[in-house]
Each structure stands twice: as C-alpha cells, then as structure tokens.
C-alpha cells in the first residue's frame, strides 16, 4: 500500500483521526505519516492489521521554537495608484518533541513505513501513547526516548531510565541541554 492509501485507511477506520503526509524533499524521499497523538495507539493497531508487524527503530527529535517568515503579496492603493506590495509576515512556531517509528511487513517484505507523533510542547505537555503493546520491539527504544528527551509514554510497561542514572535531572539529547562541568559529573556518579 502507498502512504496515501494507508492514510485514507486510517482516516476511514478511526473517526476523528488526523493523519498528515509529511513529504521529505531530501534525496532519500522517505515520506512519513504524522498521526495525532490522541489516536496513536488505535492507528498502530490498524497498521499492525495491515501486516506491518515489525517496528525496527524508534527515535526522537527535539524541535526548538522557531520563527517562519512568509512573503505575502497584496494590492494596496498608494497615492491614488494601485500597487502590489510585498510584506514579510513572521510566525512563531512553538517547539515540540517528535517520536519517529520505522515499521516493516516481514511477511510481505515491505517497508519502511515511517510513522510520527508529536508532543504538545517541550515542557509540560510531553506525553504520547506507548506503542509497545502493539510492537514489543519498541519497549527499550521508547525507554531511551524517555531517558534522553523526556517524552513520557503513557501505557509503557516499564518506563524508567535506561542510559542515565535515576536522579539525573535533565535530558541530554535535547538541543538546549547544557552538560555540567566534568568535576560535577564525578560527584554525581558517586551518589
């Protein structure tokens, strides 16, 4: 199935499910599907029913707040003469965390189908549904995204740190992470 066919199937089977096709303009042209987090687990179950039975990779991306500039042309009357005026409009896009799943069909030997979900922001709205109940191979990789990015996976069977020690207060893969001085790391490791 093509991504557009999968998208249509998800929207038909899950009322209210928002699925966007994210086009990748790089040479790999590996397009993906962005699923709204409210329907993420339901969408995963539908995808599993489409014989996407193996999740090979789960990773995360930290998207900082950014400003997007768009040029807008409009017609205005200046000194009694109609002229086309070009204005630059700046829009602030809030930051968020994104989880990316790579899915394959082992029986059909097809894939990857790339699935994405986004948090509400980077601070206090960082929960996403765990897809571990659908693909067991996502368990440790979701734990890694929790540990390094701070994404909370609701419904995960064992959500705890996997690389950093308990009590570590930050998320080292976030773009705004500032590592402590080396001498502070030595005393942290002794605790």
* Domains in the chain with CATH codes: 3-64+96-190 (3.30.460.80)
Ramachandran region of residue 37, left (φ > 0), alpha (ψ -120 to 50) or beta? alpha
pLDDT value at residue 183: 61
pLDDT of the residue at 190: 52
pLDDT value at residue 186: 56
What is the CB-side half-sphere exposure of residue 89 using CA atoms within 13 A?
A: 9
Q: Which of these, 179, 132, 172, lies nearest to 149 by C-alpha position?
A: 172
The three-state secondary structure class of 77 is strand
What is the pTM assigned to this prediction? 0.85
> Alpha-carbon Rg of the chain, whole angstroms?
21
pLDDT tens string, the chain, 191 residues long: the values are 899 999 999 999 999 999 999 999 888 888 999 999 999 999 999 999 999 999 999 999 999 999 999 988 888 887 888 888 888 999 999 999 999 999 999 999 998 999 999 999 999 999 999 999 999 999 999 999 999 999 999 999 999 999 999 888 899 999 999 987 776 655 555 54
pLDDT at residue 166, as a whole number? 87
């Amino acid at each position: 199935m093509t991504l557009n066919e999968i998208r249509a199937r998800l929207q038909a089977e899950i009322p209210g499910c928002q699925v966007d096709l994210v086009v990748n303009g790089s040479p790999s042209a590996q397009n993906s599907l962005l699923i709204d987090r409210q329907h993420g687990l339901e969408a995963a179950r539908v995808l599993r029913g489409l014989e996407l039975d193996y999740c090979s990779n789960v990773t995360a991306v930290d998207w900082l707040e950014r400003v997007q500039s768009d040029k807008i042309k409009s017609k205005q009357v200046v000194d009694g003469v109609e002229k086309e005026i070009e204005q630059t409009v700046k829009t602030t896009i809030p930051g968020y965390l994104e989880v990316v799943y790579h899915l394959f069909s082992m029986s059909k030997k097809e894939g990857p189908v790339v699935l994405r979900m986004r948090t509400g922001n980077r601070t206090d709205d960082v929960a996403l549904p765990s897809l571990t109940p659908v693909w067991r191979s996502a368990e440790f990789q979701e734990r890694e995204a929790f540990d390094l990015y701070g994404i909370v996976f609701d419904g995960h069977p064992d959500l705890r740190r996997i690389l950093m020690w308990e009590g570590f207060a930050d998320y080292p893969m976030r773009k705004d992470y500032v590592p402590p001085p080396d001498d502070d790391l030595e005393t942290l490791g002794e605790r």
